[in-house]
Amino acid sequence: MSKPKKKHRKIIPLKTKTLGNRIEDYTFVEVRWLDIEGDDGWSTLDVLKKEKLPVAVSKGYLLSQKGGVTRLFRDYIESKEKPTMEDIGSTVIIPTSVIVSIKKINLQ
C-alpha cells in the first residue's frame, strides 16, 4: 500500500487590503520553486531523460499571491519623517504553479 503524497502549501492567506507602508504588516517568507534548467552542450537522450529541475529558494516580504503570480520584495527604504517605508527593491515575481512550498519565517 502506498503512502499518500504530502501536499505542499503554495498559498499563504493575506489580508492585502490592510497592507500599507508599514513593514511589520508584511509576512516574511521562504519560497521554494522549480526553476528552468538548460544546457547548450552535447548530451544523450538517456542523460536528458534523467535530468531533474533545480529548486530555487527565494526569501522576502510577501506582497501578494493572485492571478497565478506570487510577488516578493527583499529591500525597502525607511521614510525619514515617519516610521514607514517609501520604496521597495530586489523584487521577485514567481508563477505560483511552479512553487514547491512556501513558509512563513518569524523575524522576531
Residue ranges of the chain with pLDDT lower than 50?
none
Q: How high is the pLDDT of residue 81? A: 81
**Alpha-carbon distance 105 to 54, whole Å?**
22
**Alpha-carbon distance 56 to 32, whole Å?**
6
The pLDDT tens digits for 74-85 are 999 988 887 778
Q: End-to-end distance of the chain based on CA atoms, in angstroms? A: 43
Q: How high is the pLDDT of residue 67? A: 93
CB-count exposure of residue 17 (10 Å: 0-12, 13-18, 19+): exposed
Q: In the structure grid, which three cell numbers stand for residue 60, read together? A: 522576502
